[in-house]
Amino acid sequence: MAEDFKKEKPDLHKKLHEVPHKPGVYLMRDRLNRIIYVGKAKSLRKRLSSYFTPARSKMADLKTRALIKSIWDFEIHTVRNEAESLLLEGKLIKEYRPKYNVSFRDDKRFLLVKVHLEEPWPRFQLARVRKEDGARYFGCVTK
């Protein structure tokens, strides 16, 4: 674990300018390179920049302030659309069990995207259980 310890904090504002305005998932890391939070965004740059504005930390609740103080670095994963970001976020939370993703971390099942293709205007819905209802389901299933 000692080799994972990062001595110098990266310039997050500089790194932020390289982040695209695309949907995706971001992983926040602490000083020991542990993933402490996984989040999703329609625009990664816009969402990530909200963490680094002075007003955000002043107006945030205690948990969010603690998260912001703990952020040492971040990484991003771009995807094609919001549905993919939601699925990837759930998968990564299950995999890493980050400290600050309390509400998702303890869920017993992954989120699935459900689509009824027979409807005149098919729409996406979220589901936790795959049913035999004629719909198509996308996402990971639990073990």
CATH of domain 2-80: 3.40.1440.10
Confidence at residue 6, expressed as pLDDT on a 0 to 100 scale: 58
| Mean pLDDT of successive 10-residue stretches along the chain, which has 143 residues | 64 94 97 96 95 80 89 97 89 91 62 87 86 87 51
Confidence at residue 102, expressed as pLDDT on a 0 to 100 scale: 73
Q: How far is CA 62 from CA 37, 47, 56, in A?
A: 15, 19, 12
Confidence at residue 129, expressed as pLDDT on a 0 to 100 scale: 85
pTM of the model: 0.72
